[in-house]
Chains A and B, each alone.
Chain A
């Protein structure tokens, strides 16, 4: 009899633990940046852009949802109430890489146009530029 009670208790306990894990999984917060994650691919911004403009379909397969670490020159920094965008582009180019940051994930005080920078973000695709979001500046 005692054995059954212990067994039942163990089952309930395991159930509760599984429940907590499932709950944590389902309601986990979306990360606002990829700062703590390792990059899948490292590439120059100009090469990333070229890969997309040459063949978007192939590039989508290679880069979509991947954490990409791009290096390039800052063309422009813009912001609104909750986000910051850093546009990487060479002065002579028509397009570049648009990197979106959550405002709390970046300190842009030391950054300015023309700086060389390394940015890590998730590639979401190609419009006029290649787009990365949830970005973090790589030190």
Chain B
């Protein structure tokens, strides 16, 4: 009898823990590269993200091949020459919101979120820290951020021939609307 009660209690705790987790499967991440010669923009609307509001753990996973470009050849070059997407299909971020005490997930509003964690692109992992926002409207949580990534930091070589067409820094924008799990 006692063990049954313990099991029930355990299940209840698991349920509670589950309720703290928010998930997104069609999150939007895009990057933008600007040089006087060329503007490049690519969108990925199939980003998976999990946000645990009780611990502040946050992860983003995306498939490099899900980035869509306006011009087909750019998409080919991106996957084949730069990201080597067949060898490294995914880019990931696994980190934590470090100022969790300043965010009230139960109250609508826009909160600044300090995030730090490991980003893996092209098989190279780097620790990054950035500032984003958590927006809560009618109880729906969205995570947004904008930051720069330097391809060279992740071992992505840009040939001299196209050096002035591809920016040294990519502007990454994150826009993830979550639903409760």
Q: Are B26 and A78 in contact (CB under 8 A)?
A: yes
Q: Which residues of A in the span 60-89 have a Cβ within 8 Å of any Cβ on B?
A: 60, 64-65, 78, 80, 82-83, 85, 87
Pick the residue among B28, B68, B71, B89 that contacts A28 (CB under 8 A): B71
Pick the most buried of A64, A78, A124: most chain B CB atoms within 10 A of its CB: A124
Q: Are B72 and A100 in contact (CB under 8 A)?
A: no
The interface residues of chain A lying within 8 Å CB-to-CB of B65 are: 64-65, 122, 124-125, 133
Q: Are B26 and A98 in contact (CB under 8 A)?
A: yes
Given contacts A131-B66, A133-B68, contact A85 B73 (CB under 8 A): no
Number of A-B residue pairs with CB-CB distance less than 8 Å in the complex they form: 74
* Alpha-carbon distance A113/B97, docked complex (angstroms): 35
Pick the residue among A30, A98, A133 that contacts B70 (CB under 8 A): A30
Interface residues on A, range: 20 to 34
The interface residues of chain A lying within 8 Å CB-to-CB of B66 are: 100, 124-125, 131, 133
Whether a CB of chain B sits under 8 angstroms from the CB of A6 is no
Pick the residue among B28, B48, B62, B89 that contacts A80 (CB under 8 A): B28
Q: Are A125 and B89 in contact (CB under 8 A)?
A: yes
Q: Which residues of B in the span 15-40 have a Cβ within 8 Å of any Cβ on A?
A: 25-26, 28
* Alpha-carbon distance A119/B72, docked complex (angstroms): 22
* Alpha-carbon distance A77/B26, docked complex (angstroms): 11
* Alpha-carbon distance A83/B175, docked complex (angstroms): 14
What is the minimal beta-carbon distance from B173 to any residue of chain A, in angstroms?
A: 14
Q: Are A60 and B89 in contact (CB under 8 A)?
A: yes
The interface residues of chain A lying within 8 Å CB-to-CB of B74 are: 30
Given contacts A98-B46, A125-B90, contact A87 B72 (CB under 8 A): no
Q: Which residues of B in the span 69-101 have a Cβ within 8 Å of any Cβ on A?
A: 69-75, 86, 89-90
A-B contact pairs, 26 of them (CB 8 A): A25-B73, A26-B73, A27-B73, A28-B73, A29-B71, A29-B72, A30-B69, A30-B70, A30-B72, A60-B86, A64-B65, A64-B86, A64-B89, A82-B45, A85-B25, A85-B46, A98-B26, A125-B89, A125-B90, A127-B48, A127-B62, A127-B90, A128-B48, A128-B61, A131-B66, A133-B65
In the A-B complex, list the 6 residue pairs whose CB atoms are closest, starting with the nearest.
A124-B65, A125-B63, A30-B72, A127-B48, A124-B66, A124-B63
Which residues of B does A touch, CB under 8 Å?
25-26, 28, 45-46, 48, 61-63, 65-66, 68-75, 86, 89-90
